């Protein structure tokens, strides 16, 4: 909130110096703060452009987020990027070794690549965790 308070104070000071008297100073300051917040919201919304961008932004802030790793793997697999999907499923499993869905989908990615032995190992692990 520090930058917002500073911006608000600057807006109030500027409004007093410009002597815009039609709007009360508080209203002008509120509008200025809303403008700043709106700009920040617009900037932040770029991170929600697509799922891959969203999960990459999440992982940049929280590298140990197993859910973002897993979901990024799903999104990449849906785009046919199997090697990248496998890497993210593996990271999800590194963070949460007993995450059944990650093992299962990792097995599915291996099947799509024709790596049957790796797929079977992941399916077996999923069954060990949740028989």
Q: Are residue 54 and residue 6 in the same domain, yes or no?
A: no
- Helix (H) / strand (E) element for 22: namely none
What are 94's two structure tokens?
């590194």
Q: Measured between alpha carbons, how far is 36 from 32 in angstroms, rounded to an integer? A: 6
What are 46's two structure tokens?
């770029």
What are 103's two structure tokens?
């093992």
Q: Are residue 70 and residue 106 in the same domain, yes or no?
A: yes
3 state DSSP class of 28:
helix
Q: What is the pTM of this model?
A: 0.69
Q: Are residue 34 and residue 65 in the same domain, yes or no?
A: no
The number of folded domains in the chain is: 2
| Closest C-alpha among 80, 74, 78, 108 to residue 92 | 74
Q: What is the pLDDT along the chain (131 residues), one digit of tens a residue?
A: 556 566 666 666 666 666 555 567 777 778 888 888 887 877 777 667 799 999 999 999 999 999 999 999 999 999 999 999 999 999 999 999 999 999 999 999 999 999 999 999 999 999 999 99
3 state DSSP class of 1:
coil
Length of the chain measured in residues: 131
Q: Which domain holds residue 8?
A: 2-45
Q: Are residue 116 and residue 89 in the same domain, yes or no?
A: yes
Q: Are residue 53 and residue 115 in the same domain, yes or no?
A: yes
Q: Are residue 19 and residue 61 in the same domain, yes or no?
A: no
């Amino acid at each position: 909130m520090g930058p917002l308070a500073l911006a608000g104070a600057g807006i109030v000071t500027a409004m007093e110096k410009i002597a815009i008297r039609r709007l009360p100073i508080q209203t002008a300051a509120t509008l200025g703060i809303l403008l700043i917040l709106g700009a920040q919201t617009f900037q932040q919304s770029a991170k929600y452009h697509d799922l891959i961008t969203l999960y990459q932004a999440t992982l940049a802030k929280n590298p140990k987020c197993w859910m973002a790793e897993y979901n990024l793997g799903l999104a990449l697999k849906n785009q046919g990027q199997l090697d990248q999907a496998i890497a993210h499923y593996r990271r999800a499993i590194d963070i949460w070794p007993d995450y059944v869905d990650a093992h299962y989908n990792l097995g599915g990615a291996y099947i799509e690549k024709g790596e049957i032995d790796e797929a079977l190992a992941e399916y077996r692990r999923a069954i060990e965790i949740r028989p």
